[in-house]
Amino acid sequence: MKLYNFAFVFLAFVFLMGCTQPIVVSDQDKDVNTLMVEGVAEFDTAPDEAIISFAIETQNKDAKVAQTENKEKANEVMHALWLAGISKDKIESTHYNMHKLTEWEHDKRVDKGYRVTNTITVTLEDLDKVGKVIDVVVDAGVNRVNNVDFALSDTKKAEVKAEALRLAAENAKSKAEALALGSGVTLGKIKSIQEVMFDYYPMRGYGEKTISASMDMDEGAYMPPTPISPEQVHIQVKVKVVYTI
């Protein structure tokens, strides 16, 4: 019995010795000194897209009447946009709401009927049409223009982001080289690089109608469109780069 146990232990020892290989630790697994820098790029670029937000509001004592009036005006606005050459895929209903109106009168709440609000946005690629579209929808029944946002289309956003990342990486490299030189160390290869943040700030534009006082509207005078001037869009990007030293 003891001889059998000894033989079993001996064979197990031989098996383990035969399967065990030396562990090799590569240089990549060893601790290395690193230098981390943050690269930043900021610049302005021209927008290529305008988003106009406006609303149709109707109010009536009867909820159904308020809703019907709003629907009729909305159809007129949609038809006017179609006549102005705006395709359906550029028009979006973003908010629809009906709520009951009440006011305090003589220490009691008085019923004032119902208000229906239909908010619509139009996206334009031709920024020169912004003022014209505002005039078209107001003439068709829109009674509230919320705002005009100037932004970047998906295509231009991708192009601008690629350029911003390149500039940020160059900025990070310049910082790393300066830090390495000032510290008396040799800058090695990039160990890792990461996009930290990309953002842009659409600018908001406003305008007002202008009519020349010297023109008589009864004589078919020309009314210029609402003047809307797009501003630049601010781009900001940050990257984090880790170098070996």
pLDDT in tens, 196-226: 999 988 765 543 332 222 233 344 444 567 7
Burial of 238 (0-12, 13-18, 19+ CB in 10 A): buried
Six token digits for residue 30: 């060893």
Q: Is residue 245 part of a domain?
A: yes
Q: What is the mean pLDDT of residues 84-93?
A: 94
Six token digits for residue 151: 């932004």
Reference 113, options 66, 165, 174; nearest CA is 66
Indicate if 71 and 103 belong to the same structural domain. Answer: yes
Q: Is residue 106 part of a domain?
A: yes
Q: Is residue 13 part of a domain?
A: no
pLDDT value of position 203? 63
**Whole-structure pTM value:** 0.68
State how far the Cα of 195 lies from the Cα of 201, in Å rounded to an integer.
18
Six token digits for residue 190: 């990039």
Distance of CA 22 to the CA centre of its chain: 54
If you search the block for the tokens 């230098």, which residue do you land on? 35
pLDDT value of position 127? 92
Straight-line distance from the first to the last Cα atom of the chain, in angstroms, rounded to the nearest whole number = 63
Indicate if 118 and 203 belong to the same structural domain. Answer: no
Indicate if 159 and 39 belong to the same structural domain. Answer: yes
State how far the Cα of 196 lies from the Cα of 37, in Å rounded to an integer.
12
Provide the 10 A C-beta neighbour count for residue 51.
19
State how far the Cα of 137 lies from the Cα of 76, in Å rounded to an integer.
9
Indicate if 53 and 39 belong to the same structural domain. Answer: no
How many folded domains does the chain comprise?
Answer: 2
Domain range enclosing 66: 49-151
| Partner residues linked to 100 by β-bridges | 114
- What's 188's DSSP letter? -
State how far the Cα of 27 lies from the Cα of 211, in Å rounded to an integer.
76
Burial code (b: 16+ CB inside 10 Å, e: under 16) for 171-188 equals bbbebbeebbeeeeeebe
Q: Is the pLDDT of residue 94 over 80?
A: yes
pLDDT value of position 204? 58
Reference 70, options 90, 96, 94; nearest CA is 96
| Partner residues linked to 45 by β-bridges | 233
Q: What is the mean pLDDT of residues 220-234?
A: 71
Q: Is the pLDDT of residue 158 over 90?
A: yes
